[in-house]
């Protein structure tokens, strides 16, 4: 008798979260195996890649390769439109970094106007990330959700301190999808999902944002948190953790010194853009291997590569 390895799909599965509308609507999650364990069961949906466009991109996306990709785009909506051409891009993640009260403090009205312009310029589904300021994000997401009613966007994210406002507006009043963000801790992730559900937000309107870190920067906590969430959701059938996981990768990886240090300061390290791409690829691949149902990336080269890896590993029903 030849040896036959045991296969084990789970009875429980990850919720399917839909963002966007119409033909380009995107389904996240829906699987009943660990990531890429297609020998246990074929995937329902592939992991997805969101393309990060910061509202500061015109000033901050300075790497030559990145800059040349967006050559000729002189507005954020134009960049977002262009980003859709990257092979493997399945949604646009607009980040309102300039809204930070400790930074440029762009007004809520201006942010809403920008988000509307971007939404009108693109066909792919839209995710909108805030500026990480608790009060400002609550206000932003409230107005943005209202302005984009019917677009079925994903707002990133509600946290324990502002989930009531964001959950009530984005999740309940305006029917958008809401990320629930906690700081790399499975107990906190479950707690936030529990109270969001108690608030009345539907389980299939929630994505888990379980925190993020660049490879080498405490990534082990991200890995173990993702591993444990997926195990709890599938093996223990914990309904409060069965939401798909969305992980922003680029904001972490393009900020570490491996990606930013100029070549003059460390000649043997070589071209910083290549370092940044490999850092983004490495971190994204590790996140997907541990359980992210979607990653948010910046560089077209990284996106193309990660999309290629996802395609090579999955064979959707």
The 3-state DSSP class for residue 187 equals helix
Residue 305: CB minimum distance to another protein, A:
4
Using the minimum distance from each CB to another protein, give the nearer residue, 120 or 271. 271
Residue 259: CB minimum distance to another protein, A:
9
Name the token pair of 143: 């107005």
Using the minimum distance from each CB to another protein, give the nearer residue, 242 or 285. 285
Residue 46: CB minimum distance to another protein, A:
13
Name the token pair of 146: 């209202």
Whole-angstrom distance, CA of residue 213 vs CA of residue 93:
18
Residue 63: CB minimum distance to another protein, A:
13
Name the token pair of 189: 């992730």
Q: Which residues in 143-266 belong to E strands, given as ranges?
A: 154-158, 177-181, 206-209, 246-248
Distance from the Cα of residue 163 to its chain's centroid: 18
Using the minimum distance from each CB to another protein, give the nearer residue, 122 or 297. 297
Paired residues of 295 in beta bridges: 49, 247
Where does this chain bind another protein (CB under 8 A)? 2-6, 36-39, 185, 187, 214-220, 223-224, 227-228, 231, 258, 268-271, 274-275, 277-279, 281-286, 288-290, 301-302, 304-306, 308-309, 312-315
Paired residues of 126 in beta bridges: 92
Query: Cβ contacts of residue 275 below 8 Å, gap of 6+?
Result: 258, 259, 269
With tokens 């590569």, the residue in question is: 305
Using the minimum distance from each CB to another protein, give the nearer residue, 169 or 259. 259
Using the minimum distance from each CB to another protein, give the nearer residue, 171 or 291. 291
Residue 43: CB minimum distance to another protein, A:
11
Q: Residue 211 burial by CB count (10 A; 0-12/13-18/19+): exposed, middle or buried?
A: buried
The 3-state DSSP class for residue 77 equals helix
Residue 117: CB minimum distance to another protein, A:
33
Using the minimum distance from each CB to another protein, give the nearer residue, 128 or 215. 215
């Amino acid at each position: 008798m030849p040896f036959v390895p045991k296969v084990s799909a789970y009875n429980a599965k990850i919720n399917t979260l839909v963002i966007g509308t119409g033909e380009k609507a995107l389904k996240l999650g829906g699987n009943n195996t660990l990531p890429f364990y297609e020998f246990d069961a074929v995937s329902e949906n592939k992991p997805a890649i969101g393309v990060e466009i910061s509202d500061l991109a015109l000033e901050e996306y300075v790497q030559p390769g990145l800059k040349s990709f967006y050559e000729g785009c002189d507005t954020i909506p134009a960049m977002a439109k262009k980003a859709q051409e990257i092979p493997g891009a399945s949604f646009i993640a607009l980040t309102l970094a300039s809204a930070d009260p400790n930074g440029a403090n762009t007004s809520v009205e201006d942010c809403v106007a920008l988000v509307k312009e971007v939404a009108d310029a693109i066909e792919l589904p839209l995710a909108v990330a805030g500026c990480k300021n608790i009060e400002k994000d609550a206000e932003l997401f409230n107005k943005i959700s209202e302005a984009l009613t019917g677009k079925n966007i994903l707002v990133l994210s509600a946290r324990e301190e502002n989930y009531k406002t964001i959950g009530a507006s984005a999740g309940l009043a305006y029917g958008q999808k809401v990320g629930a963000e906690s700081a790399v801790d499975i107990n906190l992730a479950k707690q936030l999902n529990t109270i969001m559900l108690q608030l009345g937000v539907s389980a299939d309107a929630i994505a888990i944002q379980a925190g993020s870190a660049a490879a080498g920067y405490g990534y082990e906590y991200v890995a173990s948190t993702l591993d444990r969430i997926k195990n709890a959701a599938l093996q223990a059938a914990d309904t409060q953790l069965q939401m798909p996981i969305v992980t922003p990768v680029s904001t972490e990886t393009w900020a570490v010194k491996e990606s930013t240090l100029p070549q003059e300061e460390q000649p043997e390290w070589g071209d910083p853009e290549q370092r940044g791409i490999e850092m983004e690829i490495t971190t994204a691949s590790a996140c997907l291997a541990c359980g992210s149902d979607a990653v948010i990336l910046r560089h077209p080269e990284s996106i193309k590569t990660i999309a290629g890896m996802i395609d090579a590993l999955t064979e959707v029903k």
